[in-house]
Amino acid sequence: MIRTEDLEAMDRAALLAAWSDLFGSPPPKKIGRPLLLLFLAFELQAREAGDLPKRVAAQLARSGRSGRAPGRPAPRLIPGARLIREWNGVTHIVEVTPEGFDWNGRPYRSLSAIARAITGAHWSGPRFFGLAREGSKS
């Protein structure tokens, strides 16, 4: 059995073989040595320590479905809040209103419409203003 403390001394070929032994499948084709070390060390430590507590495993499963980090609620926009975004050297300030949003003295119903007006391309408004993570569908 491979030990975590032995990983650092192993060459790439030995790390690839260890991956196959631990996971029962070949490693990704272009994975580098640093990532191999991290994945293998994590897997060895996880196997030694046992499974995650049920509460943590359930929270991770929920976060995978929602696209959000665990414990990180969706940002709430309340009237009076301001969103600031720099685009091509120009700072844009959007104010949240009870009816929607205000940008450059004009009302808008959605952040996506404002993002489109700023960039000339279709953007997710929440993503453009940093309210949604890159992988989310907002």
Domain ranges of the chain: 4-50, 82-128
CA-CA distance, 81 to 137, in Å (whole number)? 23
pLDDT at 73 over 60: no
Q: Is the pTM of this model over 0.75?
A: no
- Under 8 Å between Cβ of 46 and 67: no
Confidence grade of residue 131 (pLDDT, cut at 50, 70, 90)? confident
Confidence grade of residue 50 (pLDDT, cut at 50, 70, 90)? confident
Within 13 A of 115's CA, how many CA atoms are on the CB side? Answer: 15
Higher pLDDT, 86 or 52: 86
Q: Please, where are the H alpha helices in the chain?
A: 12-23, 33-49, 54-66, 111-119, 125-128
Confidence grade of residue 69 (pLDDT, cut at 50, 70, 90)? low
CA-CA distance, 134 to 138, in Å (whole number)? 9
pLDDT at 85 over 60: yes
Helix (H, G, I), strand (E, B) or coil at 33: helix
pLDDT digit string, tens, across residues 7-30: 999 999 999 999 999 889 999 888
* 74-96: b (≥16 Cβ within 10 Å) or e: eeebeeeeebebeeeeeebebeb
**Cβ-proximal residues to 40 (8 Å cutoff; 6+ apart), any chain:** 2, 7, 15, 18, 19, 22
CA-CA distance, 39 to 4, in Å (whole number)? 11
- At CA 59, angle to CA 54 and CA 60, rounded to 5? 100
